[in-house]
Amino acid sequence: MRVVLAQPRGFCAGVERAIEIVERALEKYGPPIYVRHEIVHNRHVVERLRAKGAHFVDEIDEIPAGAVTIFSAHGVASAIEQRAGVRGLPVIDATCPLVSKVHIEGQRYANQGREIVLIGHAGHPEIEGTMGRIDGRVHLISRPEEVARLKVADPDRVAFITQTTLSVDDTRAVIDALKERFPTIVGPDTKDICYATQNRQGAARELARIVDVVLVVGAPNSSNSNRLREIAAESGVASYLIEDAAALDPLWLKDASAVGITAGASAPAELVEELIARLREMTDVELSVLPGVTENVRFRMPSQLSDTRG
């Protein structure tokens, strides 16, 4: 069986930074370290950090007084930051700089007196964080059909921003609908969708062209991983999102001669290696990697940790 790996796949710079922040904080301050929410959407990553002494909590008030507190890569609402401040918790912010950029952009539009349309998925922590960072009216939508139902005070004072991990094509359809209803709307087009999301989506589309089945390694609650599965499926091939090799159903590959593998931005490379090992147990594998974009993005550590690991 031919097994083809998408390029790029797996960890993005924001996820690498967030994990490294927890690891460096554990080294510098010693356990326990408290992390609000899953640091990134991956059970394997969370369990590995938990074993080293990281505690994951949903609420700031669950964190003991004085404990080092880390905000996840998805970002947090201002109210959460303020609550941590009131409690005097020493905070290290692992919010991805590309998510912070969207927060700043949204607030800038709100400062111009515009109502904000946020394109994204309700319930995702990034969306809760972004909505809670903008001091002004924010409308959350995810589909073009929802544009007609928007009620705004002044149709000439509207701006849009987007979640970082959306499908580029789906988002473009929503933006087109917004522009049709609000011709003077301003916004970043699809540029808020981060480089890692766009690169992985392009690679998944390429992969889907040349294989019979696409396996996306990623967590069920990972937005960018779900989009990869959808993009491969839209290209007309069977596509499955699996957390790890154990979740693979051999029946999916029954009639396949070429299997494509990609991985969401929060999925560690070991999970892809374990999946390839499982395929090798099932059959002879001829492995190749698609040519693709090389990523060199790296974000700086927060100031509290810049003196660690050199």
Residue 269 beta carbon to ligand SF4: minimum distance, rounded to whole angstroms: 15
Residue 35 beta carbon to ligand SF4: minimum distance, rounded to whole angstroms: 15
Give yes or no for a contact between 22 and 35, defined as CB atoms under 8 angstroms apart. yes
Residue 245 beta carbon to ligand SF4: minimum distance, rounded to whole angstroms: 23
Which residue in the shown chain puts its C-beta closest to ligand SF4? 14
Start-end of H helices in 37-142: 43-51, 78-86, 97-111, 125-131
Q: Whole-angstrom Cα distance, residue 118 to residue 116?
A: 6
Q: Is 55 helix (H, G, I), strand (E, B) or coil?
A: strand
Residue 73 beta carbon to ligand SF4: minimum distance, rounded to whole angstroms: 5
Nearest CB to ligand SF4, comparing residues 89 and 265: 265
The residues carrying an active-site annotation are 126
Nearest CB to ligand SF4, comparing residues 10 and 144: 10
Query: Which residues contact residue 203 at a Cβ distance below 8 angstroms, ignoring those fewer than 6 apart?
Result: 6, 7, 8, 9, 262, 290, 292, 293
Nearest CB to ligand SF4, comparing residues 129 and 260: 129
C-alpha dihedral sign at 115, 117, 122, 124: negative
Give yes or no for a contact between 231 and 272, defined as CB atoms under 8 angstroms apart. no
Nearest CB to ligand SF4, comparing residues 164 and 185: 164
**Residues of the shown chain interacting with ligand SF4 in the complex, contacts defined by CB under 6 A:** 12-15, 73, 96, 98-99, 164-165, 194, 196-197, 224, 265
